[in-house]
Structure 1
Amino acid sequence: MHTMKGLMMKAVLLLSIMSFYSFCSGASNSSNKIGVNYGRLGNNLPSPFESIQLLLSMKAGHVKLYDADPEVLKLLSDTDLHVTIMVTNQEISMIASNESHADAWIDDNVLAHYPSTKIRFILVGNEVFSYNDRQLWLDLVPAMRRIKRSLNKHQIHNIKVGTPLAMDALESTFPPSSARFRSSIPAEVIVPLMRFLNSTKSFFFVDVYTYFPWSVNPTNTSLDYALMKSGINETYKDPVSGLTYTNLLDQMLDSVHFAMQKLGFNNVRVAIAETGWPHDGDFDEPGANAYNAATYVSNLVAKVTSDPPIGTPAKPGIEIPTFVFSLYDENQKPGPGTERHWGLLSNTGSPIYEVDLTGTSHENNTKLSEPSNNGPYNGKIWCVVASTASPDDLGPALEFACRQGNGTCDQLAPGKECYEPISIVSHASYAFSSFWAQFRSAGASCYFGGLAVQTITDPGHGSCEFPSVLL
C-alpha cells in the first residue's frame, strides 16, 4: 500500500511542484498573504466545513492547524489555502525513536491528503522549550530529521519542516543586539536545531506577541509603539547595533535574529507562527479591547503583505511569513481572560472587529469607540462564580481552593463571618476570591475551569469581607 502511494506521488510530483509553491519559495501569488491559526479549544465553535468557508471568504492565504486532523485536511483539499500541520508534543519522542513511526505519520497525515491539500509546512511540536521536559528537548531535532527523511523518500521537497518556539526561548531580548538563547537550553539541542533549519532552508518559527511585554509595564513602552502605529515620534536606537526601531514587533523579531547570529547562523529566516492582540480580557489586563486588536492586526497585515517586503531593521527587505492568532475565541483555553479572546471571529462566525487580511484597506477600526482600559486598573478586584456556572459543577473547584491551606477558607467555617448564606455559590465565590488573592502573584488566574470571573463590584456582605487583589 505504501508503495502504491509512493508511485502515485511520483506521478503527480511535477504537477504539484509547478502548481503549488509554498510561501517560503516566494513564487506564489499568495506568498505574502497572511495566514490564520485555526485553533479548536472550544465547545461552541462552527464546524470545520464552515470554518474553512470563512477562511476563504476572509481571503486568508494560509491556515495553520495544531494537529493533522483528517477531516479538516480533507475539507481543505482543492482549496487555494496553503496548509501548515503539526506533530503534537506527545508524538515527538515516539517519532524520534524510530523512523517507521515517522514514515507512518507521513503516510497518515501527508500522503493521504497531498497534493490536493496544499500542505506547505510541518511543524514538529509547539513551544517545546517552554516546557521543563529535557527528554522532549533532546528528541525534538531527531524527530524533525526523521520527518524530513520520510518526506524525501517520497520526493516531496516543497514541504518545509520547522518548530514554533515562544519568545521565552531567549533569556535576553533588550536591546535586540544583546539577545541570546536561554542558557538552560543545552547546546546539543539548540545548535542542531539551527543546523537543521539552515541546511533545509526552513524558517525559525516564533510566537511573538507585543501585547505581553507592553501590558506587563504599560508605562514603560507606549501603546502606539506596541501597536505599530505609523507616524509616531517614538523610536528606539539599539546602542550596540545602531539600528533604529519604530515598533516593538521589529525589536522582538530582531532579538531572534541576533540570538541566531551569536550561534553562527545569520541566514536562517524568521517566520511568525503566532501573533495578535486580545480584544477582551480581565480587569487586570490593560489594553485588551477590540479597538487595539483591530489596530494591531491591521498594521501587522500592512507590514507583512507589503510589496516589496519591508522586513526588519536587521533584515530589511526580507519577507516574513506570518500567521495571526487566531480564527476564533476559544472558550476552553485556561488562564487569564485574554487567553479566550484572541479571535478574529466570534463563535457565530461574525467578525469581532473588521480587518482586511489582504492589506489593501487600513480603515478597520474606525467604527469602534475609543477604549477606556488602555491604562492599568487602579482599585480592588475580586474573583467570583461566573453567572454561567452550574452549581452542580462547583464542588470540586471549591474543594481545590479550600485545601490549599494558608487559611483560604477559614471564614467559611460554621460560626465564622462568611458561613452564611449557606450556599455553594456563595461559598465558592469566597473561596475563589481568597485563593486568587493569595496565589495570583504565583501565577494563579481567576478561571477555575471556566467557573469564575473577575469583578470590581464588592461581593462582601454584612461582616463578611471577601479577600481582594488591590492594583
Structure 2
Amino acid sequence: MDSEILDRETGGDISGEVGVNYGRLGTNLPPPRISVRLIQSLLKAKRVKIYDANAEILEALRNTGIQVSIMLPNELVVNASTNQTFSNQWVRSSIVPFYSETLIRYLLVGNELISSTGGDISGEVGVNYGRLGTNLPPPRISVRLIQSLLKAKRVKIYDANAEILEALRNTGIQVSIMLPNELVVNASTNQTFSNQWVRSSIVPFYSETLIRYLLVGNELISSTGNETWAHIVPAMHRISHSLKVFRLHKVKIGTPHAMDVLQSSFPPSNGTFRNDIALPIIKPMLHFLHKTRSFFFLDVYPFFAWASDPTNINLPYTLFESRNITVTDSLTGLIYTNLFDQMVDAVYFAMKRLGYPGIRIFIAETGWPNGGDLDQVGANVHNAATYNRNVVKRLTQKPVLGTPARPGLVLPAFIFSLYNENLKPGLGSERHFGLLYPNESRVYDIDLSGRTPESELAPVPPAMDYKGKAWCVVAEGANVTEVAAALSYACSQGNGTCDPIQPGNPCYKPDSVTGHADYAFSAYWAQFRRVGGTCFFNGLATQTAKDPSKFCFAELVNLQSGFVIGLFLIISLK
C-alpha cells in the first residue's frame, strides 16, 4: 500500500501520538471551550476521544487540528443495528454539521458493550417471579415452567432467594435480583453490611447464574415513608462499591418506581417529577444512573389508570386494540395510539426536564389482571391475554418500535407475574396477575419470546364482567382465632357496623365467630368499598355471588348499577 492510499484511508494520521479521553461524568468540570484549550496548552495532545457526539465539545474542537474520536452511546446501539433510518438520522445530526472543520476520524459503536451490558440489551420480555402464595410450585419447577411454557429469557425476583438462584444456574436466563425494602437503610449507612449482603447473596451464584441487575428496593417512594427516601441513592452507591470490591462488573444497579413519582403526566411532554422528590431524590439518582449507564426502572400499569376513569379512558386504547382513537400531544405534535406509550414518554420527558434525556427506561412491571373482585370491571382473562400478548408483540417487534418520543429505542420489560399469588393484599385483582395458576397450568396461552404467531396461540374466552349482587364472607379454611381478631377490627370501624349482631339484637343468633364475621365483613365492605375498603382481611375473607342467607346478612352491592344499596335483613328459611 503506497503512502497516497494510506493517507486516503486513514485520514493521514497513523502516528503514535497519545491522546486523551474526555469524559464528563462530573458536576464541577470546566466547559468544553476551556477543556479544549487545556488539552492543547497543558497536555499538548493531538487526539481526543469523547463518549458521545456532544455538539458543544465538537464546536469547541473546530479548526483546532485535534483528531477526534466520537461514540455512538451504548443505549443507541440496538436502534442503529435494526433501523437504517435511525442510523442515517444520527449521523446527519451528530457528524455532518461538524465534519468539514472538525477532524472526526473515528466513530466508536458503544463502549465495552459486552462487559457493560452482559451482552444483552435485547427487547425480549421476561417475567416477574413473586412468591406471595401458599400453594406455589418450588423454584426448580418454576424455572422449568418459565423456560418451557413461557419461553422467557429474563426473570426478576423480589429478593436474592438462594433456592431460586440455584435453580437458575446454567439456564441462560438473565436474572434481576432485589435488595428488599427493609434492608435499604442498613445498606445506605453501613458499607460492611452492603459488602456482606453482596458476598452472601450474589458471589456464590455469579459465575454460573446470569445476574445482570440488582434493584435497590421496590417502589420505595410509593411504599415507604419519606424518612426512607434519602437512603435510596446512598444505598445504590454503597452497593455499587460492593460490586466493585468483588469484581462483579456485569451487574447494573437500579430501583423500580411506580407512576406516582410524577406530578404531571398529561400531555406526555408535560411529564414532571413531584416537587418533593425531584431535586433531593430523583436528580441525584438520575446522575448515578447516567454515570453507571444503567436504566430507570418503571412499573407501568395502564389497567389501573383505566380502572380509575373508565368513562374517559377508552378500553381498546388501553389494550393496544384501538383502530381509530389517537391522542395528540398538543405541545410536541406526537401522536399516541395506546396508553402504555403515553405513560412511558411522560417519564422520558420528566427525566429530560431534570437534565437527563439519555437515560433509558426498563419496564420493571407491566401486566393486566385475569380476575378480581366481583365488582372489578375489566379484570378478566380475555383482557389480560389481549394486553399481555399485545405488549409482548410491540416490545419484541423488529424493527424496534420504541415510543413516539423515543422511536426505535428498545424497551426491555418484565410481565407481572408468573403466578396468581393468593397472599397479596388489596383488591382481588392483586391476586390475579399471573400467567400461570399455582397448579402449573396456563391461565391463557402466551409466548414471551414473541416468536409464536398470534394465530397459533389458543383462543381466550370473551370478556365477561359479573353483574349482580355480592357478599363478603369468611373464606373456607380460615383460622378461627384470626377470624375473631378480624371480626373485632371490622366492628370497630364505621358507625354501628356490628350493632345487629350484638346480644339481644335481631342478628345475634346463631352465636358463632364465623356467623358474626360473615355479617361484619359484609357490613364493613358495604360502608368502606367506595374509599378503598376491600373484602380481604389478610386472606380471611372472600367475595361470593351466592346468597349465604343463614341468618341476618348484609347485602353489599348491586354490581349492575354499581352503587351501594345499603344493609337489610335476610331471614333464613331454615
1:440 aligns with 2:529: yes
**Shift of residue 124 of structure 1?**
0.2
Whole-angstrom distance in 2 between the partners of 1:364 and 1:406: 55
TM-score (norm 1): 0.90
Letter matched to residue 337 of structure 2? T
**Shift of residue 220 of structure 1?**
1.4
1:105 aligns with 2:165: no
Whole-angstrom distance in 2 between the partners of 1:450 and 1:153: 43
User: For 2:331, which of 204, 216, 240 is the aligned residue?
Assistant: 240
| Structure-1 residue corresponding to 2:502 | 413
Whole-angstrom distance in 2 between the partners of 1:340 and 1:398: 22
1:468 aligns with 2:556: yes
User: For 1:202, which of 276, 281, 294 is the aligned residue?
Assistant: 294
Equivalent residues in 2 for 1:62-211, closer than 5 Å: 62-185=154-277, 187-211=279-303
Whole-angstrom distance in 2 between the partners of 1:112 and 1:357: 29
Q: What do residues 403-428 of structure 1 show as CA deviations (whole Å, max 9, x unaligned)? A: 22521101111222222232322211
| Structure-2 residue corresponding to 1:317 | 408
Equivalent residues in 2 for 1:248-267, closer than 5 Å: 248-267=339-358
Whole-angstrom distance in 1 between the partners of 2:457 and 2:372: 18
Structure 1: tracts of 5 or more residues without a match: 1-19
Q: 1:354–1:364: 8 Å Cα contact kept in structure 2?
A: no
**Shift of residue 459 of structure 1?**
4.5
| Structure-1 residue corresponding to 2:127 | 36
Whole-angstrom distance in 1 between the partners of 2:200 and 2:420: 29
| Structure-1 residue corresponding to 2:395 | 304
Q: 2:188–2:232: 8 Å Cα contact kept in structure 1?
A: yes
Q: What do residues 98-156 of structure 1 show as CA deviations (whole Å, max 9, x unaligned)? A: 22222112111121111211100000000000134222100000000111122123333
Whole-angstrom distance in 2 between the partners of 1:100 and 1:279: 44
Deviates more, 1:66-75 or 1:312-321: 66-75
Equivalent residues in 2 for 1:358-397, closer than 5 Å: 358-360=449-451, 361-363=453-455, 367-373=459-465, 380-391=469-480, 393-397=482-486
Letter matched to residue 305 of structure 1? T
Identity of counterpart residues, as a percentage? Answer: 47
| Structure-1 residue corresponding to 2:375 | 284
State the SS of the aligned residue for 1:56: helix
**Shift of residue 26 of structure 1?**
8.5
State the SS of the aligned residue for 1:254: helix
Q: What do residues 184-242 of structure 1 show as CA deviations (whole Å, max 9, x unaligned)? A: 3262211101111111111110111111011122221221111112x611111011121
**Shift of residue 392 of structure 1?**
5.2
Across the aligned residues of Structure 1 and Structure 2, the Cα RMSD in angstroms comes to: 2.2
| Structure-2 residue corresponding to 1:427 | 516
User: For 1:332, which of 405, 416, 423 is the aligned residue?
Assistant: 423
State the SS of the aligned residue for 1:256: helix
Q: 1:294–1:364: 8 Å Cα contact kept in structure 2?
A: no
Deviates more, 1:149-158 or 1:121-130: 149-158
Q: 1:294–1:365: 8 Å Cα contact kept in structure 2?
A: no
Q: 2:445–2:457: 8 Å Cα contact kept in structure 1?
A: yes
Number of residue pairs matched?
446
Whole-angstrom distance in 1 between the partners of 2:262 and 2:388: 24
Equivalent residues in 2 for 1:4-83, closer than 5 Å: 25=117, 27-28=119-120, 31-57=122-148, 58-83=150-175
Letter matched to residue 468 of structure 1? L
Query: Structure 1 residues 443 and 48 mapped into 2: Cα distance closer, same or farther (>3 Å)?
Result: same
TM-score (norm 2): 0.74
1:348 aligns with 2:439: yes
State the SS of the aligned residue for 1:211: helix
| Structure-1 residue corresponding to 2:38 | none
Whole-angstrom distance in 2 between the partners of 1:152 and 1:450: 43
Query: Structure 1 residues 161 and 364 mapped into 2: Cα distance closer, same or farther (>3 Å)?
Result: farther
Letter matched to residue 367 of structure 2? G
Structure 1 or 2, whichever has the larger Rg, is 2
**Shift of residue 444 of structure 1?**
1.6
Letter matched to residue 529 of structure 2? R
Letter matched to residue 330 of structure 2? P
1:212 aligns with 2:304: yes
Q: Moved runs in structure 1, 4+ residues, more than 6 A?
A: none
Whole-angstrom distance in 1 between the partners of 2:479 and 2:183: 36
**Shift of residue 322 of structure 1?**
0.2
Equivalent residues in 2 for 1:266-281, closer than 5 Å: 266-281=357-372
Letter matched to residue 426 of structure 2? G
**Shift of residue 388 of structure 1?**
4.4
Q: 2:118–2:250: 8 Å Cα contact kept in structure 1?
A: no
**Shift of residue 396 of structure 1?**
1.3
